[in-house]
Chain A
């Protein structure tokens, strides 16, 4: 999913588009799982959290209006995740007296952790978007060499390219990736 089309994706979800919903799920579920880990949830609880957050988001999606002047989407999503995660933790600890959500998050240094996870999510999306911005063989050369760490000579032979072309592909993709990351960070 291209980050720049998030607004249109949310709009399609609001209209009940199933494919857009699947795209949204695939894009955000790893982020929710990582956040769940930061918040101390166990494996089964993480899986529950994903389902609950998605259902909660879906429930609110028909009324959700993507309006940056009212706040960032990342903050809206963070609130849903945090609230539901704390509910799960409360049930586990069987607390009758309310555990202040915000205090819990702040006391455990989890605000910074969310920022880090969100940046990771943007980087992940930027890598997805990169595929749409360069030729397939250029991306493949970049991925095999720079991401998988294969030797330049082996990649060159596999793709029937010169070693220098592998380096050119790497740098071309890197420059494009830096632009995409700058764009998504600016529009966040």
Chain B
């Protein structure tokens, strides 16, 4: 039995796959716990990415608020 790669399962999860291949993948997932576990990992990875994205946006928003470094003039 050929297992699916992380990239293939990622594409499957995002619906970014040819319909026939998607149907075949869905059928395989019903029978293969290895691929189901990998798909679960892909989902968790996407949750981590969402956290990173939100964090990046927070820090960027705050960075945009900050004035020029006045403290730098105190270095001498």
Contacts and interface: CB of A to CB of B under 8 A. Distances in A.
Interface of A: 16, 18, 21-22, 25, 29-30, 33-34, 37, 43, 46-47, 50-51, 54-55, 58, 120-121, 123-124, 127, 146-147, 149, 152, 163-164, 167-168, 170-171, 174, 177-178
A124 B58 CA distance: 10
A33 B70 CA distance: 15
Contacts of B7: 164, 167-168, 171
B63 A178 contact: no
30 contacts: A18-B75, A22-B72, A29-B63, A30-B63, A30-B66, A33-B66, A34-B59, A37-B62, A43-B65, A46-B65, A47-B66, A47-B67, A51-B70, A51-B71, A120-B58, A123-B51, A124-B56, A127-B56, A146-B53, A147-B53, A152-B11, A152-B14, A163-B16, A167-B7, A167-B11, A171-B6, A171-B45, A174-B48, A177-B52, A178-B48
Among B48, B49, B63, find the residue whose CB has the most chain A CB atoms closer than 10 A: B49
